Amino acid sequence: MCYVLGVNYMNELNKKPLKITETILRDAHQSLIATRMTTEQMLPIIDKMDQVGYHSVECWGGATFDASLRFLKEDPWERLRLLRKGFKNTKLQMLFRGQNILGYRHYADDVVEYFVQKSFANGIDIIRIFDAFNDIRNLECAVKAANKEKGHAQVAISYTLGEAYTLEYYVALAKQIEDMGADSICIKDMAGLLVPYEATKLVTELKNAIKIPLQLHTHYTSGVASMTYMKAVEAGCDVVDTAISPFSMGTSQPATEVMVETFKGTPFDTGYNQKLLAEIADYFRPMQEEALQSGLLNPKVMGVDIKTLLYQVPGGMLSNLVSQLKEQKASDKYYEVLEEVPRVRKDFGEPPLVTPSSQIVGTQAVLNVITGERYKMVTKETKALLHGEYGQTVKPFNKDIQSRVIGEDTPITCRPADLLEPELDKIEQEMAQWKKQEEDVLTYALFPQVALEYFKFRDARETGIDQTIAHKESKSYPA
């Protein structure tokens, strides 16, 4: 009895409730059903989600902006405003690709600053900012803009494995990020490569080195994510990302309810109500079943893929490789491509494999294999990467490959955005006839063709033109 009382007393004394970011409205459905959840599907459950006590709800950014316009014919800004109106007690969070914003190229600083400003103005509380290369220079503008708006700037370190990615590397990077003005740091383990005992080491070292909060984001792809979270939390991690169970695991995050139950009765007890979480899960379960029946949710992405650890290839990248090989009628080359991926990555300075570097490395690996000669054919993105247009990698490029691909062009060594002239005014002039709200300028800046088609659809809807005609005018694009 005394022992039990002693344990309870110590638990109370050392209480450090785990904080959770819920990903169901962004990364969970992006990872499992190609970002196809509509705003209409989200709104009815907001009130219940708002009662949980989440640290934050990730609900915007990443691929949601693009998918809303392309596939759902929704205004992403209006989605954000509606979510903000519904979530009265919970912070809203977004994912932001540094100088790439939510697009696939570098944008001028004035566009980055304006996008950050409008994100906070429309309801975002926390912006998670990352760069595919962990190039600090590509993060600075967005962090400063967030600081100026008095919003929370969380900088994410893209986690990967490789010769250069030591504990010393991550600690030094974290210190630079803290000095830059970040309010918190996230370890972004997009491929599920962080295994439990390495998480203990990494979190311990980072917590000793920085004073700001530390968050961990991972995917269940390799099957170790829940164990990794447990060891990370025990080592001092402040916040973890989870997804409500119907859209958890597989290429998504660990289940919220499981993490809540895991730490129940410990110093890390979240205090969340499992009955309330069960009601939220019940709301999303029919969506999962419908997605399975329609084929939108492929059962394969719900399993464990140990190849993630063997080849360090994120789950989404694996599916892209399979798709590309199938199109080229070269599915039998799958394992050759998997073996080529690390070689290409090494040639490219060993970057973490996350958007857009994962697509660039993967596509080049496919080309190298199916042409039968390495770099006989190169994509424009490969050329841009080796030219330095995406920033600086942790290790140098393979000089021979770089020379072969870019020829006599002089590589860029400065921050790529320093070469970009301010572009907001020009963009606004180009799309002036379609502008109905200030945010439309940013929508057009990121996705000009897609935005134009959406604006036409919006006009047709508002003027009462038959929707089937408007849909025919709007081309479809692959996910």
Per-residue pLDDT of the chain (479 residues; tens, 9 = 90+): 555 544 554 556 689 999 999 999 999 999 999 899 999 999 999 999 999 999 999 999 999 999 999 999 999 999 999 999 999 999 999 999 999 999 988 999 999 999 999 999 999 999 999 999 999 999 999 999 999 999 999 999 999 999 999 999 999 999 999 999 999 999 999 999 999 999 999 999 999 999 999 999 999 999 999 999 999 999 999 999 999 999 999 999 999 999 999 999 999 999 999 999 999 999 999 999 999 999 899 888 888 888 788 778 776 677 678 778 888 898 899 889 989 999 999 999 999 998 889 889 999 999 999 999 999 999 999 999 999 999 999 999 999 999 999 999 999 999 999 999 999 999 999 999 999 999 999 999 999 999 999 999 999 998 876 554 444 444 333 33
User: How many Å apart are CA 456 and CA 461, to the nearest integer?
Assistant: 9
User: How many Å apart are CA 303 and CA 315, to the nearest integer?
Assistant: 10
**β pairing state of 126-130 and 152-158:** parallel
pLDDT of residue 154: 98
Task: Specify the DSSP class assigned to residue 138.
Answer: G
Instruction: For residue 184, report the phi and psi dihedrals to the nearest 5 degrees.
Output: -160, 170
**β pairing state of 184-189 and 56-61:** unpaired
Specify the pTM.
0.91
pLDDT of residue 478: 34
pLDDT of residue 475: 39
The tokens for 68 are: 């809303």
The burial class, CB within 10 Å (0-12 / 13-18 / 19+), for 57 is: buried
pLDDT of residue 12: 61
Please name which of 52, 22, 42 lies closest in space to residue 253, comparing C-alpha atoms: 22
